[in-house]
Amino acid sequence: MKIWPLLFKMPKHLGFWMLADTAYVFFLFFFFNALIPLSFSKFMFVHFLAIGVGSMVMFTGVGGGILWIPVLTFLEIRPSEAVAISIFTQIAGKGTGSLTYLFNGMVDVKAATAFIPMALAGVTLGFLSSFYISRGYEQLLLYIFVLIAVYLLIRTIQSLRYRISFIDTSPGINPPITYAKSYPVVILSSFFTGLLSIGNTDWLIPHMTIKLKMPTSRAVATSLLIMFVTILFYLFLAGISVWLGYASWPHGTYLLFATCSGVIVGGQIGTRLSRIPWFERYQKHTFIVFLGVSIIHLLC
C-alpha cells in the first residue's frame, strides 16, 4: 500500500484537522504557565471560541474582527493590540479555509485574479494614510464606512425576494462581466482594511451577489480568498513598519497559541457547512445577521 497518496488526501478530510488539533493541544499542555504565560483553562476557552468564530467567518464571509476585538478586550487586551492579534488570527483561519474553497473549485478565479491587485493597492493606501490622518478624521471615515455598509445590508436584504437560478442559466445568454466597474468598490473597501483594520468582505460579498450575480456560496469563497491575500499583505506592511521603527509589536501575542489553532479547525468546519443544502439555503440570511452585528459593533 502506497502511503504518500493517502497522506496527500488526508488534509482534505475534517478528521485530519481534528486529530492534528488534538495533538497540538496535548503537546502545548506541558508548556502552559512555564514557557507560555497562559493557563490551560484560559487556553481552552479561547481555543473553543476560536473554533466557533472561524466557523462563522468562513461560512458567512463576514470579517472576524467584529467578533474577536470585543472578546480580546474582555481578556484585558488593549483595543489597538486586539486589532493586530485579530488580524494575525484571521490569517491562519482564512488562509486554510480560503485554500480549501479554492481547491474545491468554489472560488471564481477570474474575479479573484482581477480584484486582488486592486485590493493590494487599496490596503497600501489605507495603511500609509493611517500615519497621517488624525483621530478625528479616522472617526469620520469610520462613519462613512458604516453608511455604505448599511446601504449594502439593505440591498442584500432586498435581494432575498429574488431567487435566481445560477445553475440552470446558460452561460451563452449572460452578458460579459466587466470587472473594471467593480474596481472602485474593491479599492475603497480595502482602503478601510488598511486604515481601520475592517474586513473588505463586508462590501465585496453583497457587491458580488447583487452586481456580479454570483451565488452566495461562490461570493463568500471568492471574497475570503481576496481578504486572505489582503490581510497577508497587511501583515507584511505592518512588519516593515515595526522593522523601521514606526510601530511596535503588540502585547498579548501569547493568545495566538489558542486563537490561530482554533480558527484553523473552525475554518475547515465553516467551509463544509456551505456544502449542506440547509445551511447553503440560509447562508445569505446568516451573512445579513452578522453584517448587522458588525455595523452595531462599529457604532458602539
For position 134, what pLDDT does the model report? Answer: 63
CA-CA distance, 198 to 213, in Å (whole number)? 24
Contact 122, 193 (CB under 8 A): yes
So where are the chain's domains? 38-159+176-299
- pTM confidence score: 0.71
For position 168, what pLDDT does the model report? Answer: 38
- What confidence tens digit (pLDDT) does each residue in 64-113 have? 666 676 677 677 776 666 767 777 787 777 777 788 788 888 899 999 99
